[in-house]
Amino acid sequence: MPALLEARNVTKIYGGGRFSRTPGMVALDDFSFRVEDDQPTITAIVGESGSGKTTLARLLLGLTEPTSGQILYRDQDMSRLTGESRKRFLREVQVIFQDPYEVYNPFYKVDHVLSTPIAKFKLASSKQQARALMEETLNAVGLRPEETLGRHPHQLSGGQRQRIMVARALLLQPRLIIADEPVSMVDASLRATILESLRQMHLKYDISILYITHDLTTAYQISDNILVMYRGQVAEAGDVDLVVKQPQHPYTQLLIQSIPQPDPDRAWGHYELPADAARPVVTGGAFCRFVNRCPHAMEICRTTNPPLYRTDEHRAAACFLYRESPALDRADLDQVLTDPARNLTPTGT
């Protein structure tokens, strides 16, 4: 069965080119990933800025085109979607952005955000039916219609505005929601509520969620699988329990160690991420992308880009520390991701 959405050997380079004096910046480097239609999962894509995670979201939404490789929606090249297939894509794949305020037109009441897709996709046959649908959807994300509809965006809190965006996505009964840092501009007290709304949508309606974030803690709370990205490549991927509780890639280990601790004497963990000494503009090449920050760097790391090694049934790490494990083709990453079963037992490294 074709995947709902697939990135196949995708590389995205910004700048550079034949007539440019500066080298291009590789934002995403030979990246492959599938969202299956019949196996709804929540997958977190985690990384710092410059990791390629936002570029990935833009590629999957068709907002930018790959330099090489393909983005496929139901086996059709995204750049060639037209007519009914494009309309189906626009309904089946929804997005929730970081800053909900930017999505709103301040001159319209927030009802507009919900009534527009109802009209565009003909979801209701009368005004009464449209109103009932809006109320039902707002209730589903924990908002009271009487406190929400009829107001302008500035009259609502950031958390309410973001939940309306969740409601808008739900309205269209999508197969996939790409949530790009959806709670990073929301009060801490509301983060859990919004993430829980997303999780409930996944559980109740079998919607897959791609949760893109720099925050490992919320990624752990919400997701089944996780991809840790570094400089456009997957550093480590697999079952979220395995990756977060027993991180293998040195980069993932540093990320975990830098998570704020509840101990007041150790407010920001016991290990600071060392600054990246590499040049900010990079081209792809034969070296480990993490070599300048890695406490375990070896000679081979400077001359060869490590493949993904399948260290457990449900996890892979791109690091030569695990070269005894079988190498996994980057295009086969889904082999360690698609099983949503929990209680997995690591097989060791």
**Calpha distance 106→310 (Å, rounded):** 50
The residue (of 110 and 294) whose beta carbon lies closer to ligand SF4 is 294
Residue 7: both structure tokens together: 């990135």
Residue 298 makes contact with ligand SF4 by CB under 6 A: yes
Residue 250 makes contact with ligand SF4 by CB under 6 A: yes
Which of 330, 334, 341 shows the shortest CA–CA distance to 224?
341
Q: Concatenate the DSSP letters of all residues of 221-278 into one string.
A: HH-SEEEEEETTEEEEEEEHHHHHHS--SHHHHHHHHTSPPS-GGGBTBS-PPPP--S
Residue 321 makes contact with ligand SF4 by CB under 6 A: yes
Task: Tell which one of 109, 196, 320, 327 touches ligand SF4 (CB under 6 A).
Answer: 320
Residue 328 makes contact with ligand SF4 by CB under 6 A: no
Task: Tell which one of 183, 195, 288, 333 touches ligand SF4 (CB under 6 A).
Answer: 288
The residue (of 192 and 298) whose beta carbon lies closer to ligand SF4 is 298
As measured in angstroms, the least distance from the Cβ of 294 to ligand SF4 is: 3
As measured in angstroms, the least distance from the Cβ of 322 to ligand SF4 is: 8
Task: Tell which one of 290, 333, 336, 337 touches ligand SF4 (CB under 6 A).
Answer: 290
Spatial contact of 7 and 189, defined as CB atoms under 8 Å apart = no
Residue 335: both structure tokens together: 């082999």
**Calpha distance 171→175 (Å, rounded):** 12
- List C-alpha distances in Å: 205 to 90, 137, 210, 212, 317: 18, 13, 15, 20, 32
Which of 344, 320, 110, 325 shows the shortest CA–CA distance to 235?
320
The residue (of 121 and 320) whose beta carbon lies closer to ligand SF4 is 320
Residue 294 makes contact with ligand SF4 by CB under 6 A: yes
As measured in angstroms, the least distance from the Cβ of 276 to ligand SF4 is: 12
The residue (of 167 and 308) whose beta carbon lies closer to ligand SF4 is 308
The residue (of 97 and 320) whose beta carbon lies closer to ligand SF4 is 320
**Calpha distance 221→191 (Å, rounded):** 11
**Which residue ranges make up the site for ligand SF4 (CB under 6 A)?**
250, 288, 290-291, 294, 296-298, 301, 306, 319-321
